[in-house]
Amino acid sequence: MPLPPLVQPAEALSVDEIRRYSRHLIIPDVATAGQKRLKNARVLCVGAGGLGSPAMMYLAAAGVGTLGIVDFDTVDESNLQRQVIHGQSDVGRSKAESAAASIREINPLVQVVIHNTALDRDNVFEIFRGYDLIVDGTDNFATRYLVNDAAVLLGKPYVWGSIYRFDGQASVFWAGEPANGPCYRCLYPEPPPPGMVPSCAEGGVLGVLCASIGSIQVTEAIKLLTGVGEPLVGRLMVYDALEMSYRTITVRKDPQCVLCGPNATQTELLADYEDFCGAVSEEAVSATLGATITATELKEWQDAGKDLFLVDVREPAEYEIVRIPNSVLIPKGEVVSGEALARLPQDRQIVLYCKSGVRSAEALAAVKAAGFRDAVHVQGGVLGWVRLVDPSLPAY
Amino acid sequence: MPTVRFFAGARAAAGVAEEQVPPGLTLAELAATLASRHGERLGTVLGAAAFLVDGQAWHDRHTPLPAGATIDVLPPFAGG
């Protein structure tokens, strides 16, 4: 179903703008009227990371008049493999500032608004209200549900995209009028159980996948702003880079959706999205109480010759990148399923670690439940070890 | 017969893009059938996946799925 343009046209294009946007102006479906709508458009990108990078660069080049950036993070070297809006000299700089500088270089006619803050339930409405359209490029479930809920409650459309390894998904969620489409909760009513779905930081992502999905998001944004074509409302685009296939599947509005269904029960934002998505399960939290050591303490134990059985619960590829000396690899899945428990010695101090301390907490719960009551895990994981004990090792 | 289509991590764990399943299964039975056909790795993925039946979220685990339905299995991921 074609939808009316989201934005009214600006009054006029300047001579500079006509020169710059001439390849748009000669497309009949965009033309001067469409370009004037882009000029008047206000688009917010949530996250200046993998998806946000190509999204903002192309939205800026396309002549979107106002681009907002929400990001609280700073540029890390491990971002540069895919977050192409940032460069080597930006390492350590605020992502929002770095992205803003790139946008100004791509197109100085764009008004950039920097929101150098974490999006949360207290600021999301105020920030969203200033924009016609939102592009969701966040990297965690808690923020994705927050973005969805705020957009639905405000009746605003947003372009959603998500990536992992070689897989990508994208859609336009617009539950309000006139689209009356499904929302994220119609597709994924509840977040997955904590620890079940790895993040890109844990599982990796092919850098160029960001461009594949980010460019779909920009395409949909431009279509919505200018009112051309068939928007990706009620459809999910599923991209498989290994197969090199794009499949579009239908997603209908869920009549039982708690947020946008006819009998919706959720009429405001949740009190705590981190809690809703359970960053770490309750079992893991209670397992770690009194059973958490720092990387420095681990080093002291090793230096004192304590009889340790140090288990790395990450995946083999991560173990190849960097590891704590004298550790053995037993991926978390094998610990939690119970198949690796027989490999754990009864008479030695068991110490678990992962990348940052989340997976090892989950594994610790399983190990303690199996009777290894003295087992501990390392706070901050191998990243903590790199930071506190051996900065010559690579962080990832 | 209902057709199951696997996406992303479910596609990788199942080893096929789609297949047919016996009619009359409930969602709980379907998940058990698929896990026994393709292994525990798929079983784990199914534990977190969304099931769309003819494009609509399917919440009821204990009512038989419609004959001839297309069931899309979509594992969630949140990377950006």
Q: Are residues A174 and A74 in the same domain?
A: yes
| Inter-chain touch A163–B79, beta carbons under 8 Å | yes
Structural domain includes residue A10: no
A238 touches chain B (CB under 8 A): yes
Residue A137 with chain B: CB contacts under 8 Å: 80
- Using the predicted structure, report yes or no on whether residue A279 has a pLDDT greater than 80: no
By C-alpha distance, the chain B residue nearest A142 is B78
Length of chain B: 80
CB contact under 8 A, B47 and A193: yes
For residue A260, pLDDT beyond 90: yes
Total number of domains constituting chain A: 2
Quick check: B40 pLDDT over 90?
no
**Structural domain boundaries enclosing A328:** 282-388
* CATH number of the domain bearing residue A334: 3.40.250.10
Catalytic annotation present for A45: no
**CATH number of the domain within which B46 lies:** 3.10.20.30
Contacts of A192 in chain B (CB under 8 A): 48, 76
Residues of A in contact with B59 (CB under 8 A): 189, 256
Q: Kindly state whether residue A215 falls inside one of the protein's structural domains.
A: yes
Residue type, A98: S
Do A64 and A36 share a domain, yes or no? yes
More confident residue, A71 or A356: A71
Nearest CB among B7, B11, B48 relative to A192 is that of B48
Q: Are residues A179 and A321 in the same domain?
A: no
B60/chain A closest Cα distance in angstroms: 11
Catalytic residue among A186, A257, A260, A354: A354
pLDDT of amino acid A130: 98
Q: Are residues A147 and A229 in the same domain?
A: yes
Q: Does A186 contact B57 at a Cβ distance shorter than 8 Å?
A: yes
| Residue in A196, A240, A255 nearest the CB of B47 | A196
The catalytic position among A183, A200, A210, A257 is A200
Residue bearing the bigger pLDDT, A104 or A282: A104
Chain A CB contacts of B48 below 8 Å: 192-193, 196-197
Distance from CA of A2 to the nearest CA of B (A): 20
- Per the rule left: phi > 0, alpha: psi between -120 and 50, beta: everything else, A78 is alpha
> For residue A196, what pLDDT is reported?
74
B52 contacts on A by Cβ (under 8 Å): 187, 249-251
- Would an 8 Å CB–CB cutoff place A331 in contact with chain B? no
Nearest to A360 by CA among A282, A275, A284: A284
* Domain assignment present for A8: no
Q: Which residues of A211-222 are buried (b: 16+ CB within 10 A; e: fewer)?
A: bbbbbbbbbbbb
Tell me, yes or no, whether A157 and A39 share the same domain: yes
Contact of A336 with A366, CB cutoff 8 Å: yes
Residue A198: predicted pLDDT: 79
Residue A269 maps to a domain: yes
Residue B6 pLDDT level (bands cut at 50, 70, 90): very high
Q: Encode pLDDT of A191-228 as tens digits.
A: 887 777 878 887 899 999 999 999 999 999 999 999 99
Q: Which of residues 189-228 of A touch B (CB under 8 A)?
A: 189, 191-193, 196-197, 199-200, 203, 205
List A residues 255-274 in contact with B (Cβ-Cβ < 8 A): 255-257
Whether B50 sits inside 8 A of A187 (CB atoms) is yes
Say which range, A190-199, A257-266, A301-310, A384-393, has the weakest mean pLDDT: A190-199
Domain boundary pick from A249, A277, A305: A277
Which of A40-54, A134-148, A198-212, A250-264 is predicted with the least confidence, judged by mean pLDDT?
Answer: A198-212
CA-wise closest residue to A104 among A67, A74, A49: A67
Cβ B80–A138 below 8 Å, yes or no? Answer: yes
Domain boundary (A236, A261, A277) is at A277
Nearest Cα neighbor of A284 from A201, A193, A173 is A193
Residue B80 domain-assigned (yes or no): no
Least confident among A268-272, A366-370, B51-55, B65-69: A268-272
Q: A394 and chain B: CB distance < 8 Å anywhere?
A: no
Residue B38 lies in a domain: yes
Q: Which of A261, A277, A293 is the last residue of a domain?
A: A277
A173 and A229 belong to one structural domain: yes
Residue A394 lies in a domain: no
Chain A to chain B Cβ contacts (< 8 Å): 98
Assigned domain for B79 exists: no
pLDDT digits (tens, 9 = 90+) for A283-337: 888 888 889 999 999 999 999 999 999 999 999 999 999 999 999 999 998 999 8
pLDDT of the residue at A277: 85
Query: Confidence class of residue A24 from pLDDT cuts 50, 70 and 90?
Result: very high
How far B21 CA sits from the closest chain A CA (Å)? 20
Interface contact flag, B80 A49, Cβ < 8 Å: yes
Determine the average pLDDT of the residues in A71-76: 97
Would you call A163 and B74 a contact, using CB atoms and an 8 Å cutoff? no
**ipTM for the complex shown:** 0.95
pLDDT exceeds cutoff 90 at B47: no
Do residue A291 and residue A260 come from a single domain?
Answer: no
β pairing state of B3-6 and A158-164 = unpaired
Q: Check CB contact under 8 Å for B78 and A162.
A: yes
* A145 and A37 within one domain: yes
Laid out side by side, the sheet with A235-240 consists of A111-115, A66-70, A42-46, A133-136, A158-164, A167-173, A235-240, A245-250
pLDDT of residue B51: 95
Higher pLDDT, A388 or A236: A236
- Residue A55: inside a domain, yes or no? yes
Residues of B in Cβ contact (< 8 Å) with A138: 78, 80
Q: What is the mean pLDDT of chain A?
A: 95
Residues A100 and A195 in one domain: yes
| A224-241: average pLDDT | 98
Are A266 and A383 in a shared domain?
A: no
Instruction: Tell me which residues of chain A, numbers 102 to 141, contact chain B at a CB-CB cutoff of 8 Å.
Output: 136-141
Taking a contact as any Cβ pair under 8 Å apart, which residues of chain A between 68 and 97 contact chain B?
A: none
Q: pTM (2 decimals)?
A: 0.85
Question: Is A257 part of the annotated catalytic residue set?
Answer: no
- pLDDT > 90: percent of chain A: 87
Query: B12 vs A199, A212, B41, CA distance in Å?
Result: 17, 20, 10
Confidence label for A93 from pLDDT (cuts 50, 70 and 90):
very high
Whole-angstrom Cα Rg for chain B: 12
DSSP label at residue A225: H
Is the pLDDT at A364 greater than 80? The verdict is yes
Pairing mode, if any, of strands B70-74 and A349-353? Answer: unpaired
**What's the pLDDT at A284?**
86
* Domain of residue B7, residue span: 3-74
Are A310 and A182 contained in the same domain? Answer: no
* A239 and A292 part of one domain: no
Q: What is the pLDDT of residue A197?
A: 82
Domains in chain B: how many in total? Answer: 1
Residue A176 burial (CB < 10 Å; 0-12/13-18/19+)? middle
B80 contacts on A by Cβ (under 8 Å): 47, 49-52, 136-139, 161-163, 200
**Predicted pLDDT at A387:** 87
